[in-house]
Amino acid sequence: MPKKIIKRYLPSEETLKNSKSLGVFGRTIFASDLWHLNKRSVSSAFSVGLFCALIPVPFQMVIAASIALLMRVNLPISVALVWLTNPITIPPVFYFAYLVGTWTLGTPVNEFQFELSIDWLKDGFLLIWQPLLLGCFICATVLSILGNITVRILWRLHIVRNWQNRKLKRINRKLTQINQSNNE
């Protein structure tokens, strides 16, 4: 993957410094190895970010940053990918995870109406918590593995394409030199 494209979409160091939720990590989040853009660091960061995006708890960014720190992978990519689940995508993503969980457990799908209230969390969540958590774990695992493999394949293809382009340029230079020497 081209580093320039990745750098264009990453949050800046200043943005992360000013993030209140990441302030708990202090200066450790600015270690140089957490900002490297290489195949291992980026593909592993995709795994971390995609996995944490499907954890049905608040403060997913903090969890992703913690795991990125422990694994020494690219921090901004890990944190940015958590936003795969945002206020718009959370309902369909977690409903799909719930369906995966019910299918895996062999339980019927419970019809429920979500309400943001203490009563619903106390009563309604009890009906869906097991299939939801299992479905989230399965989807997170599959998505993180696929993300890692996809990044590694795309990175490799980009490297091979660059090598081929360099080889063609070298051959074209030699042919141009030969043509110029023959014309003289």
Give the tens place of pLDDT for each residue, 17-31: 677 766 777 777 777
**pLDDT by residue (tens digit) across 118-158?**
776 677 777 788 999 999 999 999 999 999 999 999 999 98
Q: How far apart are CA 152 and CA 48, in angstroms?
A: 14
Half-sphere exposure of 102 (CA within 13 A, CB side): 12
**pLDDT by residue (tens digit) across 90-108?**
888 988 999 999 999 998 8
Greater model confidence, 175 or 116: 175
Where does residue 74 rank: exposed (0-12), middle (13-18), buried (19+ CB within 10 A)? buried
pLDDT at residue 135, as a whole number: 95
Where does residue 45 rank: exposed (0-12), middle (13-18), buried (19+ CB within 10 A)? buried
So where are the chain's domains?
3-183
* Displacement of CA 46 from its chain's centroid (Å): 3
Q: Is the pTM of this model over 0.85?
A: no
